[in-house]
Structure 1
Amino acid sequence: MTLPLFIKNFLLCFSSALLLILAFPQTDFWGLAWIGLIPLFFALDGKSFKSAFGTAYLCGLMVFAGTLYWFIHVTLLGMILLILYLALYYGVFGVLYVFFPRRKFLEQLLLLPSYWIVLEFVRAHALSGFGWVSLGYSQYKNLPLIQVADITGVYGISFLIVLVNIFLKKWLAEQCSGKKFFKDREGRCAAVLVGGALIVVLFYGIFRLNQPPDQKQKLKIAVIQGNIPQAMKWNETLWPEIMEKHLQLTEAAALLKPDLILWPETAFPEILGETPERFTELKKRVARLKIPLLVGAVTQDVSDTGPAYYNSAILISPAGETVGQYDKLHLVPFGEYVPLRGYLPILTDIVPIDDFTAGKTYTVFPASGVRPWKKGEHNFSVLICFEDAVTDIAREFAVQGAGFFVNITNDAWFMDTKAPFMHLQSSVFRAVETRRPIVRAANTGVSCFVDRQGHIHDCVQDSEGKKTFVSGYHVGTMTPESGGLRTVYTNFGDFFTYLCFGCILWGIIRKKGRS
């Protein structure tokens, strides 16, 4: 019995979507990403542009619905619109897939991954950018493979995944048709190309992972995980309770003599600048502990044009003095500001929030919490909320002299879902790309340490190993980069993506020449 074409296409799209969803947290079956696109490719074969767009768009809808459903806890309408938008990139890939149907297979091996990478890059930058669910992120636990990210960034990993999917799809199609793929010269060349690329990447990764550990001075850092539900955070009657909970965890962690203590994003329970009493009390407690504290807070700056609000990180010295403030540079649309508010006032009724103001300075803090900085001192920069998903910010901080990163975040918005673990994927790649460790302090988790090779360790967790929606603290050690190391990726950014742009341009020129 032959299935109707539309049912066959749906099942193929569903199969691809299911495989890709399972490759991401919390299942983390990362190996499925290497075959996840094969059903979609079969569904696209022989399609017109319109049909290919619709088929791939359907697959994209299912992929993003299965990985980003947790946005429903913030906004149902926003979740639907986001998924409808992100699926467009799958649809465009479907059109590009059938654009060069008669290309030689070796050319397809170069062009099709390039299409995918360029679309991931555009998605990560257009309209404020949303790079989550890039294929490369699914490999965040595949440490030998992802070491090459210090050259290519996460897009190099995505390229390899698409490359292998294309090769395996071609091999499977030839097997099903009775042809002997490896007897053909082109098939053998393709096998050498794909196998060679994987071998080089894996050998590079093994080399990186087996380098001797850095013997430089280590820092002991305490991360505080308050586990404050989002519904409680801005209830003024609960602010004293929230403050006391963080202070109790801080004093317990201080007994282990850390060099620095971290509170999560907006952990300070009021708007700093409106009333000074609570913050003054916090500084007194820090002075008694004699350990610097980095605290996340909403800050207010009043000028002639009215108040401006910032999502900030504030460093308090061991003497109880404010020695630095970083204001978040990259704001989240509809979470921290409403785009086009001046042109579409109705958006204010739909999303009733005041706009935050973006910061303007790439701030680097001294880990000692004391100014002036000492020569050779361990310095760090803060990535607030989703800023660890923005590659350019981490790169610039590394250039400015940060020896390690701190990611303070509040993922309580998304409840106890896969969201915190998908967020953690970004931190792993930023650590590998810049070869700088990252320490994460998350309100509801995952609070942990990520070393420069991408190992995740020293998580805050309960007795059963649960890492999210539990309160606690953990004191761990890490070795900052103090020698000014700059990786290829730090120096040259997404040059690999630009090479993919060049491959696409070459393909277009070749097609016109043949025409």
Structure 2
Amino acid sequence: MGFLKTLLAKSPPFLFALLGGLGMGLAPDPFRCWWLAWVALAPLWLLCQRGTLKEGVGAAALWGFGYHGTALFWITGVHPMDWMGVPWGYSLAIALTVWLLITGWGMTLTILWAVVMVRLTPKLPVGAKILLGCATLAGLETLWSWGPLYWTALGYTQSPDNLVGLQLGRIAGQQVISMAIVAVNGLLAESWRARRWRYGVMALGLGGAIALYGVIELAQPVDSATPLKVGIIQGNIPNRIKLRGNGIETAVKNYTEGYRSLAALGVEMILTPETAIPLLYPDPSWQRSPFDQAVAELGVPVWLGTFRRGQSPDFYYNSLVLVDATGSPISHYDKVRLVPLGEYIPLRELLGGIIRRLSPLRGEVAFGASEQQVTSPWGPLIVGICYESAYPAHFRYQAAAGGRLLLTASNNAHYAASMPAQHHAQDVARAVETDRWAVRATNTGYSGIVDPHGRTLWLSGFETTERHAATVYLRDSTTLYVRLGDWVTPLLLVAANGYLMWLVKYPHSDRS
């Protein structure tokens, strides 16, 4: 920390790195200044071109703290955790510690990117700098997406408002949007650094090409050949209520009433949020019986957010179970991407006795199978629960397997409003990438209906009880991203490495 303070005190340019990171942090919710993302990386780019490695790392740390710390500040909304019996002071300490840890993880990505830029690019031609900058960032984001903590890819800053830019996701997923942001920032920075305004013109040209592609995609008609009338129940049962006293009975009452009202509207399928009724299914339960009786009576299939028993008494799945009039599950989906500390303990053998999990559950939540294919009476579906919305490959796999409609169920009840808003933005991007209608059910907000172009056709209120019926459409189309995955990142990595190998072989080549 002393090193960073020295940089800020003695080197005013490093203040601009921090301001750039803060600007990037203002792009997503709650500020939604998405356009800032197209200029906010430029200060860090400039510092990486003119400074030492130590200075580049310091600038990247400041930029990363500004971006990830601002964008992820919603995690502190878990405080206070009095509903779990955690004292106020400990609750605040836990919230701040978790925020600093996940911010630090994001900073690590930024620092690694800066190291590559400082060590390899200052003497390269501008085109090579752009190539390495884009390839490195996309490669690092892909690597981060393989891990347990992943939310703040640069591409997510454009959702849900920049629908024109989001259409790039159809080509090769979220990383293409991240690359475009890096490229535009890099060209603007080089234009300023070298006083060669043609690079600025190139940045504008690239932005114009992106806009043209997006406008063309948005103008395409949305197929409406196979309609499905769906219902969404937003129960609005905060954890502090659901997990205390008569909270389960209140949840059962709300979801039973919601189920009956939507069934009366003639919906064909109903979606409830994650852990809507947190009782083991299909174990009999007198607490859940009013809901079970309503389903048996009215017969409308419902995706129930619940827990499903695992292979041992101490493990269970966070699941969506499709139940029909027979009362038997006809399909299910088990959550794959679990929340670290919230649903499982990383390095459990080492940390299990030290870390108090931020979860009310007894026992451990088990990981669902990574290659699940969800079947239903309407054909294959694409399903995600809560945190999984940040992982594009999760949805792409199911879409490639024939998924015709995207369903997500989330809780989000223990965070500030900016978190569920960002969560909605993640699902908007997933709908565009897979070219699917998306149906979102959340506990306290924001539930929604999103079309394949990313347009939000309905969005619930926050901390409101809602029941909504809408007609969506099953689709069998495939985007280039669904067919080939993120093919651009490996292509750029190969090109970048090939260029570097050429420089090693011919070290006296003209780099200017």
- Alpha-carbon distance, 1:417 to partner: 3.0
- Alpha-carbon distance, 1:310 to partner: 0.7
Match of 1:244 in 2: 253
**Residue 441 of structure 1 aligns to a residue in which SS?**
strand
Match of 1:371 in 2: none
CA distance in 2 between counterparts of 1:40 and 1:412 reads 36
**Residue 381 of structure 2 aligns to a residue in which SS?**
strand
Match of 1:365 in 2: 375
**Residue 468 of structure 1 aligns to a residue in which SS?**
coil
**Residue 26 of structure 2 aligns to a residue in which SS?**
helix
Q: Assess if the C-alpha contact under 8 Å between 1:272 and 1:279 holds in 2.
A: no
- Alpha-carbon distance, 1:129 to partner: 4.2
Q: Assess if the C-alpha contact under 8 Å between 1:287 and 1:320 holds in 2.
A: yes
The answer to whether 1:96 aligns with 2:116 is yes
Match of 1:43 in 2: 47
- Alpha-carbon distance, 1:510 to partner: 3.2
The answer to whether 1:20 aligns with 2:24 is yes
Q: Which has the larger displacement, 338-347 or 350-359?
A: 350-359
The answer to whether 1:489 aligns with 2:510 is no
Normalised by the length of structure 1, the TM-score is 0.87
Match of 1:173 in 2: 193
Match of 1:154 in 2: 174
**Residue 412 of structure 1 aligns to a residue in which SS?**
coil
CA distance in 1 between counterparts of 2:111 and 2:455 reads 35
The Cα offsets for residues 315-334 of structure 1, whole Å up to 9 and x where unpaired, read as 11145442122211222221
- Alpha-carbon distance, 1:197 to partner: 3.9
Q: Which has the larger displacement, 353-362 or 263-272?
A: 353-362
- Alpha-carbon distance, 1:418 to partner: 0.9
- Alpha-carbon distance, 1:296 to partner: 0.3
Q: Structure 2 vs 1, CA of residues 18 and 166 (structure 1 numbering), >3 Å: closer, same or farther? A: same
CA distance in 1 between counterparts of 2:321 and 2:339 reads 20
Match of 1:205 in 2: 214
CA distance in 2 between counterparts of 1:422 and 1:350 reads 24
CA distance in 2 between counterparts of 1:168 and 1:285 reads 60
Q: Assess if the C-alpha contact under 8 Å between 1:12 and 1:43 holds in 2.
A: no
- Alpha-carbon distance, 1:199 to partner: 4.0
AA matched with 2:366: T
The Cα offsets for residues 213-234 of structure 1, whole Å up to 9 and x where unpaired, read as 3130211111111111122222
Match of 1:456 in 2: 456
**Residue 258 of structure 1 aligns to a residue in which SS?**
coil
Match of 1:114 in 2: 135
- Alpha-carbon distance, 1:404 to partner: 0.5
CA distance in 2 between counterparts of 1:259 and 1:270 reads 25
**Residue 469 of structure 2 aligns to a residue in which SS?**
strand
Match of 1:464 in 2: none
Match of 1:222 in 2: 231
Matches within 5 A, 1:15-414: 15-74=19-78, 75-76=94-95, 77-99=97-119, 100-126=121-147, 128-130=148-150, 132-140=151-159, 141-175=161-195, 181-182=197-198, 187=199, 191-192=201-202, 194-272=203-281, 275-301=284-310, 303=312, 306-349=313-356, 354-360=363-369, 362-366=372-376, 368=377, 377-414=378-415
Q: Structure 2 vs 1, CA of residues 350 and 217 (structure 1 numbering), >3 Å: closer, same or farther? A: closer
AA matched with 1:208: E
The Cα offsets for residues 292-333 of structure 1, whole Å up to 9 and x where unpaired, read as 111100122464xx4421101111114544212221122222
Normalised by the length of structure 2, the TM-score is 0.88
CA distance in 1 between counterparts of 2:390 and 2:357 reads 26
Match of 1:463 in 2: none
Q: Structure 2 vs 1, CA of residues 7 and 402 (structure 1 numbering), >3 Å: closer, same or farther? A: same
5+ residue gaps, structure 1: 369-376, 461-466
Pairs aligned (count):
480
- Alpha-carbon distance, 1:269 to partner: 3.7
**Residue 257 of structure 1 aligns to a residue in which SS?**
coil
AA matched with 1:181: W
Q: Assess if the C-alpha contact under 8 Å between 1:283 and 1:321 holds in 2.
A: no
